[in-house]
């Protein structure tokens, strides 16, 4: 009964978030806070009733601007239910550790939390497989590192370097379109760091490995067998976000057309920030459909339709910039398309894919476009035809092609190892080992915090490392203030446990939203948990010292060890993007199966996947 009630609560929360998008646009008064969608272009001043407030505009711009960056904000991926499930497993384990007075059970709490971070979404079977692999790998790494550290400093150093390097070799550095679940091999490397800081003889190391398995098993059982996730709200919110982004792009185009002077800065923002935000939202949608919605045919087809709409909007933008101002009839059709997109968003928000009214309005738009000039009319016709097909599903050929792209591959299934993987593995292992030795030499308390900071901030690209350092620093600062307030009255074990549980729920719920928000709740949670395992004074000061040293070693190692050449990286990415676009154009020219064949769909996905990297290369 409790499970059903919390599931209902999570569904309602996600549905409410989805409705914010549609209602914000429907009421023509505010800017969507969740996905950045604007309402239609403002009415003339004498007819305007309630303009978007300043805070809404700032949030809208920030959400759009973050797309494609390492610090992307993806509010539509908030998942309360996952947070509640993680909190339940953590609460049971914490209660056992306190009631039975077994301090090592606190490591089970850490393992349960890490297993929740590695939850890849999707079906119960695939989730079970991924989390079970992590549980086994993490337990082995944790036990081996603890046992190796038992033989002294030299053995501990060699164990740390070797196991961290091996774990990092299992990571994937494919381009990402927003925050995603943690990779099991990456979290296992963090387990190695904590294991080295907890030296035990063979029996003690086995006991730690058993505690790790206990925590992971509890999370796996609750998440996949006892209380699996069946809510469809994430799918609705995903589509509302994508189509709201498309409407934002169309509204921006209408605004640019009405501008009395050619505003090159506004056009640059439209062709980079706005268009990139739409494209990345679509590609992130493909990943979420495959990973989280089990490759749902209706949702996958709706994302494909959005991709076709994006192509038509891009063509309209090129036409406007090269051919002069749109005619009044052209603008009328653009406004009709804008209104049609509003209807689609409302329909998606209600849980349906399309409606009779949408189909009728799309047919009317298609008929009206036949009277326009050839280029403009074909763009509007293409958009109308795409929207008329919303009620369909992806063809079997396209469906097979989507699955063959590897989006359903687990975090442990990897292709041939590229140079970036072993370069990054050696770089990270060296930096982590150096940080461990220096902090040990300085006698810094809780030095594993600094070593973990080095491991977490290091990215294959130096620019991304700096961004991650700043993002982690912001989250740690704010989270440290929260922890200071919680620790002010020296709470007992029970009070700390009661505080850790909701913090863990917030961390898991925010894990795929934004890293800084994630860190704000992660910092006090782990500070309290560390104090529960190894009580220490001046936790706030120690956190600041360790985070600073860890970030310093991460940045220095990124500069000195296998440094990346930004110009070469940009050239390689540009070459990939141009090649993908040429392949797409070639497939269209030689296709004999119409514009929506499986081959063209494949090249379209490759093309749009390559383009976002031109703005900023980023990896999982």
pLDDT of residue 146: 95
pLDDT of residue 291: 66
Q: Is residue 377 part of a domain?
A: yes
Please state the domain count of the chain.
Answer: 3
Question: Average pLDDT, stretch 269-295?
Answer: 77
pLDDT of residue 205: 94
Which pair of structure tokens corresponds to residue 115?
Answer: 């297993």
602 pLDDT band, cuts 50/70/90, is low
pLDDT of residue 325: 73
197 and 342 belong to one structural domain: no
Question: Average pLDDT, stretch 107-115?
Answer: 92
Task: Write out pLDDT tens, residues 344-393.
Answer: 888 888 878 888 888 888 888 888 888 767 788 888 888 899 888 886 64
Residue 448 has pLDDT above 80, yes or no: yes
264 and 341 belong to one structural domain: yes
| Nearest of 368, 376, 320 to residue 340 by alpha carbon | 368
Neighbours of 400 (CB within 10 A): 11
103 and 183 belong to one structural domain: yes
pLDDT of residue 108: 93
How many angstroms separate the first and last alpha carbons of the chain?
38
The mean-pLDDT minimum among 64-78, 218-232, 284-298 falls in 64-78
Identify any residues that bridge with 619 across adjacent strands, giving them in sequence order: 175
Are the C-beta atoms of residues 25 and 32 closer than 8 Å to each other?
A: yes
Q: Is residue 278 part of a domain?
A: yes
Q: Is residue 114 part of a domain?
A: yes
Average pLDDT of the chain is 76
Q: Is residue 495 part of a domain?
A: yes
φ and ψ of 78, to 5 deg: -60, 130
Which range in 409-413, 459-463, 481-485 is most confidently predicted, on average pLDDT? 481-485
535 pLDDT band, cuts 50/70/90, is confident
479 pLDDT band, cuts 50/70/90, is confident
CA pair distance 131, 133, nearest whole angstrom: 5
Residue 296: DSSP 8-state: -
Residue 164 has pLDDT above 50, yes or no: yes
pLDDT of residue 614: 43
Residue 224: DSSP 8-state: I
Residue 507: DSSP 8-state: H
**610 contacts: CB under 8 Å, gap ≥ 6:** 573, 576, 577, 579, 580, 581
Question: Average pLDDT, stretch 475-491?
Answer: 81
Tell me the CA distances in angstroms from 436 to 156, 160, 439, 450, one per residue in order.
10, 9, 5, 8
578-600: b (≥16 Cβ within 10 Å) or e: eebbebbeebeeeeeeeebbbbb
In three-state secondary structure terms, 584 is helix
pLDDT of residue 150: 93
459 and 586 belong to one structural domain: no
- CA 171 and chain centroid, separation: 16
Which range in 133-147, 356-370, 374-388, 465-479 is most confidently predicted, on average pLDDT? 133-147
The mean-pLDDT minimum among 208-222, 399-413, 548-562 falls in 399-413
Of residues 593 and 251, more confidence is placed in 251
pLDDT of residue 132: 92
CA pair distance 138, 114, nearest whole angstrom: 9
Residue 149 has pLDDT above 90, yes or no: yes
In three-state secondary structure terms, 619 is strand
Residue 454 has pLDDT above 90, yes or no: yes
Percent of the chain with pLDDT over 70: 70
Are the C-beta atoms of residues 218 and 111 closer than 8 Å to each other?
A: no
Question: Average pLDDT, stretch 467-489?
Answer: 83
Residue 142 has pLDDT above 90, yes or no: yes
225 and 272 belong to one structural domain: no
pLDDT of residue 572: 65
Question: Average pLDDT, stretch 466-484?
Answer: 84
Residue 413 has pLDDT above 60, yes or no: no
Residue 398 has pLDDT above 70, yes or no: no
Range of the domain at 578: 566-614
Q: Is residue 55 part of a domain?
A: no
pLDDT of residue 613: 47
Flag whether the pTM goes above 0.75. no
Percent of the chain with pLDDT over 90: 21
Q: Is residue 255 part of a domain?
A: yes
17 pLDDT band, cuts 50/70/90, is very low
CA pair distance 506, 4, nearest whole angstrom: 20
pLDDT of residue 575: 73
248 and 381 belong to one structural domain: yes
Residue 260 has pLDDT above 90, yes or no: no
64 pLDDT band, cuts 50/70/90, is low
pLDDT of residue 238: 79
φ and ψ of 67, to 5 deg: -60, 130
Residue 613: DSSP 8-state: G
Where a domain ends, among 519, 545, 560?
560
Residue 77 has pLDDT above 80, yes or no: no
478 and 393 belong to one structural domain: no
Residue 219 has pLDDT above 50, yes or no: yes
pLDDT of residue 2: 41
Where a domain ends, among 344, 377, 403?
403
377 and 446 belong to one structural domain: no
pLDDT of residue 56: 41
Q: Is residue 94 part of a domain?
A: yes
169 and 215 belong to one structural domain: yes
Q: Is residue 13 part of a domain?
A: no
> What CATH number is associated with residue 249?
1.20.58.220
State whether the Cα torsion 442-446-447-453 is positive or negative: negative
301 and 420 belong to one structural domain: no
384 and 424 belong to one structural domain: no
496 and 535 belong to one structural domain: yes
Could you give the angle at the alpha carbon of 265 between the alpha carbons of 260 and 271, nearest 5°? 105
User: Using CA atoms in the order 314, 267, 49, 278, what is the torsion angle rounded to 10 degrees?
Assistant: 40
């Amino acid at each position: 009964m409790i499970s059903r009630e919390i599931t209902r609560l999570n569904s309602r929360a996600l549905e409410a978030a989805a409705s914010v998008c549609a209602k914000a646009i429907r009421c023509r008064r505010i800017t969507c806070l969740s996905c950045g969608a604007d309402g239609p272009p403002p009415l003339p001043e004498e007819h305007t009733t309630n303009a978007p407030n300043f805070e809404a505009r700032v949030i809208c711009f920030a959400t759009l601007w973050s797309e494609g960056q390492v610090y992307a904000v993806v509010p539509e991926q908030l998942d309360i239910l996952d947070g509640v499930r993680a909190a339940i497993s953590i609460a049971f384990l914490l209660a056992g550790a306190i009631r039975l007075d077994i301090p090592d059970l606190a490591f089970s709490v850490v393992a349960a939390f890490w297993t929740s971070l590695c939850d890849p979404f999707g079906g119960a079977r695939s989730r079970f497989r991924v989390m079970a692999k992590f549980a086994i790998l993490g337990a082995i790494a944790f036990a081996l590192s603890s046992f190796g550290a038992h033989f002294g400093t030299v053995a501990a150093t060699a164990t740390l370097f070797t196991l961290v390097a091996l774990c990092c070799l299992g990571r994937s550095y494919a381009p990402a379109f927003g925050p995603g679940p943690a990779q099991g091999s990456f979290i296992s490397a963090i387990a190695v760091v904590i294991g080295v800081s907890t030296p035990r003889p063979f029996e003690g190391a086995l006991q730690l490995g058993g505690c790790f398995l206990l925590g992971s098993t509890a999370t796996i059982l609750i998440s996949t067998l006892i209380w699996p996730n069946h809510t469809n709200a994430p799918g609705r919110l995903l589509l509302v976000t994508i189509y709201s982004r498309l409407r934002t792009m169309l509204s921006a185009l209408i605004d640019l057309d009405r501008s009395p002077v050619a505003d090159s800065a506004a056009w640059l923002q439209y062709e980079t920030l706005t268009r990139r935000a739409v494209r990345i939202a679509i590609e992130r949608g493909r990943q979420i459909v495959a990973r989280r919605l089990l490759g749902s045919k209706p949702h996958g087809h709706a994302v494909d339709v959005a991709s076709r709409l994006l192509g038509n909007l891009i063509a309209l933008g090129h036409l406007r910039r090269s051919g002069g101002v749109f005619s009044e009839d052209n603008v009328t059709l653009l406004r009709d398309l804008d209104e049609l997109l509003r209807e689609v968003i409302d329909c998606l928000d209600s849980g349906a894919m399309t409606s009779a009214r949408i189909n009728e309005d799309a047919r009317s738009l298609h008929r009206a476009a036949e009277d326009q000039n050839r280029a403009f009319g074909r763009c509007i016709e293409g958009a109308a035809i795409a929207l008329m097909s919303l009620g369909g599903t992806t063809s079997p050929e396209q469906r097979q092609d989507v699955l063959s792209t590897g989006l359903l591959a687990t975090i442990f299934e990897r292709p041939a190892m590229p140079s970036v993987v072993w370069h990054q593995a050696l770089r990270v292992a060296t930096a982590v080992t150096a940080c461990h030795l220096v902090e040990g030499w300085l006698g810094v308390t809780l030095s594993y915090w600094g070593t973990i900071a080095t491991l977490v901030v290091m990215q294959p690209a130096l620019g991304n490392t700096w961004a991650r350092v700043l993002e982690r620093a912001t989250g740690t600062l704010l989270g440290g203030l929260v922890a200071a307030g919680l620790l002010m009255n020296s709470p007992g074990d029970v009070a700390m446990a009661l505080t850790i549980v909701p913090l863990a729920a917030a961390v898991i719920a925010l894990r795929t939203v934004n890293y800084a928000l994630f860190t704000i709740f992660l910092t006090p949670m782990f500070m309290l948990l560390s104090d529960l395992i190894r009580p220490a004074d001046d936790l706030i000061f120690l956190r600041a010292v360790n985070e600073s040293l860890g970030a310093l070693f991460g940045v220095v190692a990124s500069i000195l060890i296998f440094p990346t050449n930004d110009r070469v990286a940009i050239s390689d990415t540009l070459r990939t993007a141009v090649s993908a676009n040429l392949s797409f154009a070639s497939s269209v020219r030689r296709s004999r199966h119409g514009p929506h064949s499986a081959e063209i769909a494949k090249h379209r996905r490759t093309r749009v996947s390559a383009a976002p990297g031109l703005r900023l290369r980023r990896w999982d």
